[in-house]
């Protein structure tokens, strides 16, 4: 069932983290922002969903009328949603910066992100999960953050 929240195992989380490594860091912040919507106030999620419905309506109208101008509006609406999700992800990382600094600022962790392999990624995910202290069923957030740490943010959060 796509709506069921299950507890992922470490192998699945590791594969998910590796699948995210091809994304740019801004995209990863947006992915994290999407994941955080589950704990956001309902009005925050409703705002983004309303934008999506508006986009869908505009796209349907554009197909029916074959007008060029709505494409510009669609691009702006998509950018608004993406920027909001990136901001949510960035705000979370910023809020957790002190905890990340305490838990990640050592040479052993820096070594994990250099030439990351499956076992290093698993350790990194477990470290992030321990720092976050979140229920197991939400550990996919740890996989996203582990991918982000491998991409570039580890040294930034440890400064």
Q: 66 lies in which domain range?
A: 10-157
Identify whether 146 is part of a domain.
yes
CB contact at 8 A, 13 and 125: yes
Identify whether 3 is part of a domain.
no
Identify whether 141 is part of a domain.
yes
Identify whether 44 is part of a domain.
yes
Residues 8, 122: Cα–Cα separation, whole Å: 13
Identify whether 14 is part of a domain.
yes
Q: Angle, to 10 degrees, between the axis of helix 70-104 and the axis of helix 42-65?
A: 150
Identify whether 4 is part of a domain.
no
Per-residue pLDDT reduced to its tens digit, 48-75 = 888 778 776 766 665 555 545 555 555 7
Per-residue pLDDT reduced to its tens digit, 72-103 = 555 777 888 889 999 999 999 999 999 999 99
Structural domains counted in the chain: 1
Identify whether 140 is part of a domain.
yes
Burial class for 59, CB neighbours closer than 10 Å (0-12, 13-18, 19+)? middle
Identify whether 5 is part of a domain.
no
């Amino acid at each position: 069932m796509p709506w069921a929240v299950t507890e992922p195992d470490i192998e699945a989380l590791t594969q998910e983290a590796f699948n995210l490594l091809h994304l740019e860091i801004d995209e990863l912040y947006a992915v994290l922002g999407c994941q955080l919507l589950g704990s956001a106030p309902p009005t925050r999620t409703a705002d983004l969903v309303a934008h999506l419905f508006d986009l869908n309506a505009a796209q349907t109208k554009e197909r029916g009328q074959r007008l060029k101008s709505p494409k510009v509006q669609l691009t702006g609406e998509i950018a608004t949603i993406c920027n909001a999700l990136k901001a949510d992800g960035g705000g979370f990382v910023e809020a957790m910066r002190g905890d990340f600094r305490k838990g990640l600022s050592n040479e052993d962790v820096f070594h994990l992100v250099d030439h990351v392999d499956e076992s290093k990624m698993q350790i990194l995910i477990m470290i992030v999960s321990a720092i976050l202290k979140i229920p197991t069923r939400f550990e996919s957030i740890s996989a996203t953050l582990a991918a982000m740490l491998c991409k570039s943010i580890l040294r930034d959060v440890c400064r």
